[in-house]
């Protein structure tokens, strides 16, 4: 007789939001905050700071690694998924985001990213919407064994024009991002 398994549900879920821009008025930071406001209320989406992480250097990987590394790793271990919101720098991801990936994936064999579901949003003032950064980041996520949401893709171009005066998303962008965050939320539930 076949065994019937009930679907797994999570009443409460935590998602780390990593923003690849350090600028206070960054359109990617604004997008991250907008996505958090659109996420289901019973799920905790929280921005995890990456700007204070010392550059990864294996020489510092001792019994007492930098406190910022330890704090970051512990926070990422405690989440069900990771949402990346980033600009594109020179057709790739900003150094601060790549450094966060390096810090979290080390020491070898102890990656805090392993098997965590991921989503990628790139926002750019240009028309291309950070396509290069989006795909470079996805290459790293494959190596890190992070199942990454494939659809809908989120390359948001003309980023300076998508926000209203009060900082909220314009209507059409809001509708698309709501569709994205709902799909991502389901992706995390499915892969947690």
d(CA 148, CA 137): 10
pLDDT of res. 127: 87
> CA-CA distances (angstroms) from residue 60 to 64, 138, 183?
8, 27, 39
d(CA 148, CA 60): 30
The tokens of 103 are what?
A: 């810090």
Give mean pLDDT, residues 155-168: 92
The percentage of the chain sitting over the pLDDT mark of 90, rounded to a whole number, equals 88
pLDDT tens digits for 118-159?
999 999 998 888 999 999 999 999 999 999 999 999 999 999
pLDDT tens digits for 61-83?
999 999 999 999 999 999 999 99
pLDDT of res. 5: 40
pTM over 0.85: yes
pLDDT at residue 55 tops 70: yes
pLDDT of res. 140: 97
pLDDT at residue 167 tops 80: yes
pLDDT of res. 3: 42
The percentage of the chain sitting over the pLDDT mark of 70, rounded to a whole number, equals 94
Name the superfamily (CATH) of residues 13-54+62-191.
Flavodoxin domain (3.40.50.360)
pLDDT of res. 11: 63
d(CA 37, CA 25): 17
pLDDT tens digits for 83-110?
999 999 999 999 999 999 999 999 999 9
d(CA 39, CA 183): 10
Q: Which residue has the tokens 């989406």?
A: 45
d(CA 190, CA 47): 22
pLDDT of res. 97: 98
Return the beta strands (E) in 102-168 as ranges: 118-123, 154-156
For residue 6, name the pLDDT band (cuts at 50, 70, 90). very low
- Of 17, 103, 19, the closest CA to residue 55 belongs to 103
């Amino acid at each position: 007789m076949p065994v019937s398994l009930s679907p797994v549900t999570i009443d409460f879920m935590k998602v780390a939001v990593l923003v690849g821009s350090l600028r206070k008025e960054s359109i990617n930071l604004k997008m991250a905050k907008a996505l958090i406001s659109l996420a289901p209320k019973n799920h905790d989406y929280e921005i995890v700071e990456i700007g204070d992480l010392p550059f990864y250097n294996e020489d510092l990987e001792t019994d007492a690694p930098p406190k910022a590394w330890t704090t970051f790793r512990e926070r990422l271990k405690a989440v069900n998924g990771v949402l990346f919101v980033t600009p594109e720098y020179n057709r790739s991801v900003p150094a601060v985001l790549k450094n966060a990936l390096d810090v979290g994936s080390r020491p070898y064999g102890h990656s805090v990213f392993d098997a965590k579901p991921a989503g990628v949003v790139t926002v750019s003032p240009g028309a291309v919407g950070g396509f290069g950064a989006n795909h470079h980041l996805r290459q790293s996520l494959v190596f890190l064994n992070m199942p990454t949401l494939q659809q809908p893709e989120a390359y948001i171009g003309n980023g300076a024009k998508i926000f209203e005066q009060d900082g909220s998303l314009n209507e059409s962008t809001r509708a698309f991002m709501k569709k994205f965050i709902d799909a991502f939320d389901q992706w995390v539930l499915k892969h947690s």
